[in-house]
Structure 1
Amino acid sequence: MGNETELMLKGYGLTVAEMFYHMPDHPHVLNTFIWQDYDLAPDHPRLFKFIEFWGEEIEGPLHSVRFSHRKMISPGEWRNVVGEFKLH
């Protein structure tokens, strides 16, 4: 899909999710899994696609998901600065 800077310029931000899930062999025990990817807020299509994948392919059912999203830059904040500093 492109490098990280291209994604950020297109409005993507870093989304980090902590997934709490039941262990398949010990359903009363919760474990965690950390997922991160560049995603678009507020809909978070990549996160929800991963949650859907989890429900279909992973044996440990999800208990809950906690996530945060940080938009690193937006097109109006990006500046191309060319310069050189010489020390000594």
Structure 2
Amino acid sequence: MGETELLLKGYGLTTAEIFYRLPDYQNVLQSYVWQDYDLAPDYPKLFGFIEFWQENIEGPLHSVRFCHSKALSPTDWRNVVGELRYH
């Protein structure tokens, strides 16, 4: 599915900043930025990524901050019936 199709179906750009601890140095926090198109308010892609992280990556999560921006909605589009040419 293309980016425009996702936006018309209600997806918005979700950005998450993930803080995690280094496996060998538990007192050190690192950050990772994740970004994808996701559906609010359930955020299936974001929560799927967090589950993947917890199951497959050694660095334990400390915290996650995220924001969501719905850049486009179906009401932002309108059907153009005609075309005007100016010579």
- TM surpasses 0.5: yes
Q: Does 1:40 align with 2:68?
A: no
Cα RMSD of the aligned pairs, angstroms, is 2.0
Residue identity in the other structure for 2:15: V
Gaps of 5+ in 2: none
How far apart are the structure 2 equivalents of 1:73 and 1:10?
A: 9
Q: 1:84 to 1:42 in 2, by over 3 A?
A: farther
Q: Secondary structure at the match of 2:58?
A: coil
C-alpha deviations, 1:45-69, integer Å up to 9, x for none? Answer: 0000000000000000000000000
The number of aligned residues is 85
Q: 1:42 to 1:27 in 2, by over 3 A?
A: same
Residue identity in the other structure for 1:66: R
TM-score (norm 2): 0.89
Name the structure 1 match of 2:63.
Answer: 64
Q: Kindly, what percent of the aligned residue pairs are identical?
A: 65
Residue identity in the other structure for 2:35: Q
Q: Secondary structure at the match of 1:11?
A: coil
Q: Secondary structure at the match of 2:48?
A: helix
